[in-house]
Structure 1
Amino acid sequence: MFGKLKASLGIGAAKVDTVLSSMAIYQGDTLQGTVNIQGGDVDQQIDAINLKLCTEMKVESEDSVSYQDFTLGSLQAVQPFVIGKNEQKQIPFQLKLNDETPITVLNAAKNQSHVWLETTLDIEFALDPKDRDYVDVLPLPVVAKMIAAIEQGGFSMVKADVEKGFLNGHNFSSKSGCYQEIEFRNNAFINKKEIELSFVLDGAWVHCLAEVDRSIGMRGDQYLSFSFGKNASDSEVHAAASRILSV
């Protein structure tokens, strides 16, 4: 009887630790790993193991800015089971990244883009044991080439963040409900510009929306959008970058 009471109160509860096969992964790839569960002082019913891929997005209103966790994808790893006293279990899993998962490995002066995997044990009448593992999301080679081309054009990456909302390009739109902006600035005195890039994966294609802001002049913000294959040539990437730089 006391053992059941301990279990329901969360005393001596099971513990969870997720181990990823790799902490670094490219956009659009699949996370793989193992959920390790260590039984507590008593037998406990585990109703579910829930995995959530999360990021933090900026939410702007007329008079305030706040930040909220946003779920990009989820997975229930197992059916209900009982973890015995001091028992150890290993549950393998695979979770494909949402195509719009933000890039986190960026050489930005202020990088506010973060992605993590949150693992939760669903235990009745108890505080859910949780585990959070941050993931390094690498840009696809073609995306890295585009970023490098902008930097070679005299711009420095100053900021990267994730914002609430949707993107709409010439022939594409985002779907997740949040999008990443990667901001660049040049150091010119007269022709001072800011460039913001957002990338959206779509199967074998990479879509890009670019916003160019001139601080001097009356042209206002200019928007360009284009698409290229994941295996686009260097010349294709540099042609797209040249369009942005020439605005």
Structure 2
Amino acid sequence: MFKKMLASIGIGGASVDTQLVDNRLQPGQIFHATIVIKGGDVAQQISGLDLALLTKIKVSGDNENYFKNHQLASWRLTESFEIKAGEIREIPFAGKLHPETPFTLLPVRNNQCQVWLQTGVDIDTALDPNDVDALDIQPTPVAEHVLNAMDSLGYVLFKADVEQGFLNTRAFSSTSGCYQELEFKPRSMGYNAVREVEVSLVCEAEQTHVLVELDRGFRGDGYQYFTLSNEASFGQVLEAFKANIR
């Protein structure tokens, strides 16, 4: 009876561990994992098992900005079952990352981008054990071309974050409820030059949409948007950015 009471407040109860085959992924990629549930000191009824893909987003408040967790995707892994004391149960799983999952492996010191998987166990009358696994999200090949194109045009990536909201243009719209901003500054500043460039990418299976915000000093701000094939070469990406950053 005492062990059951302790398990009900999370002491000596069941635990969960998600074991990823590889935590280095790209947006839209399929990942594989094994979810390991270990029974505690007593048998417990588990109401369900869920896995969620999360990122941290910046929210613009009335007085100041703040960060909160944002769910990009979720999966129901199991329905109700009982885990016996000391039992080990393994559940194989394959899921697909949201195509707009933010990149986290970026060549920038001020990188505020985080992505992780969180596994939660719903246990009747008990605290929810959970497991958090950080993901390293690599830029796609066309996103790598974008970074290299900006470098070739004389811009340095100085900040990356994820913001709340949707990107909407006449040609495309985002769907995840957040968007990543890659902020670039020129290596040298000329008269009437572009002072800052913010680039956001909306990745899809066959193409990548690009929204560019330009801070052009005396000429004012401006927006450009265009779409790149995911098969585009570096030269094609470079020419697209040359045509739209001016």
Give TM class, smaller chain: over 0.9
Output one character per residue of 1:186-235: Cα deviation in whole Å (capped at 9) or x when no partner: 132323521111010233111010111123x1x21111111121111333
The Cα of 1:6 is off from its aligned counterpart by 4.3
- C-alpha separation in 2, matches of 1:241 and 1:144: 13
- C-alpha separation in 2, matches of 1:170 and 1:144: 25
Does 2:12 align with 1:12?
A: yes
The Cα of 1:244 is off from its aligned counterpart by 3.3
- C-alpha separation in 2, matches of 1:64 and 1:78: 40
- The unaligned stretches of length 5 or more in structure 2 are none
Residue 206 of structure 1: aligned partner: 208
One-letter amino acid of the counterpart of residue 111, structure 1: N
Deviates more, 1:77-86 or 1:6-15: 6-15
- C-alpha separation in 2, matches of 1:16 and 1:112: 28
Contact 2:8-2:127 at 8 Å conserved across structures: no
Q: Secondary structure at the match of 1:112?
A: coil
Contact 2:194-2:214 at 8 Å conserved across structures: no
Q: CA RMSD in A?
A: 1.5
TM score, norm. by length of structure 1:
0.94
The Cα of 1:66 is off from its aligned counterpart by 1.0
- C-alpha separation in 1, matches of 2:87 and 2:79: 17
Report percent identity of matched pairs: 41
Q: Secondary structure at the match of 1:126?
A: coil
In the superposition, relative to structure 1, how do residues 226 and 189 fare at CA in structure 2: closer, same or farther (>3 Å)?
A: closer
- C-alpha separation in 1, matches of 2:9 and 2:18: 24
- The unaligned stretches of length 5 or more in structure 1 are none
Q: How does 1:76-225 map to 2 (within 5 A)?
A: 76-190=76-190, 191=193, 193-215=195-217, 217=218, 219-225=219-225
TM score, norm. by length of structure 2:
0.94
The Cα of 1:170 is off from its aligned counterpart by 3.6
- C-alpha separation in 2, matches of 1:89 and 1:64: 46
One-letter amino acid of the counterpart of residue 243, structure 2: R
Aligned pairs, how many?
244
